[in-house]
Amino acid sequence: MSDRETHAPKGPDGILLCQDLIFTSKITGTARELGYRVLVAGTDPLAQSMLEQWRPKVVLVDLSHPHFAKPDVLLAYRKIVPTARFLAFGSHVDVKSLSAARDVGCDPVLPRSKFTAELPELIQTYLGEASCET
In the chain, the domains with their CATH numbers are 3-133 (3.40.50.2300)
Reading phi first (left if > 0) and then psi (alpha if -120 to 50, else beta), residue 35 is in left
Q: Tell whether the model's pLDDT for residue 81 goes beyond 90.
A: yes
Whose CA is closest to 10, among 52, 54, 42, 44? Answer: 54
Q: What does pTM read for this prediction?
A: 0.89
Summarised one tens digit per residue, pLDDT across range 93-128 is: 999 999 999 999 999 999 999 999 999 999 999 999
Q: Residue 88: what are its φ and ψ, rounded to 5°?
A: -120, 150
- Give the whole-angstrom CA distance, residue 110 versus residue 92: 8
Summarised one tens digit per residue, pLDDT across range 11-21 is: 899 999 999 99
105: number of Cβ within 10 Å:
14
Summarised one tens digit per residue, pLDDT across range 27-55 is: 999 999 999 999 999 999 999 999 999 99
Reading phi first (left if > 0) and then psi (alpha if -120 to 50, else beta), residue 128 is in alpha
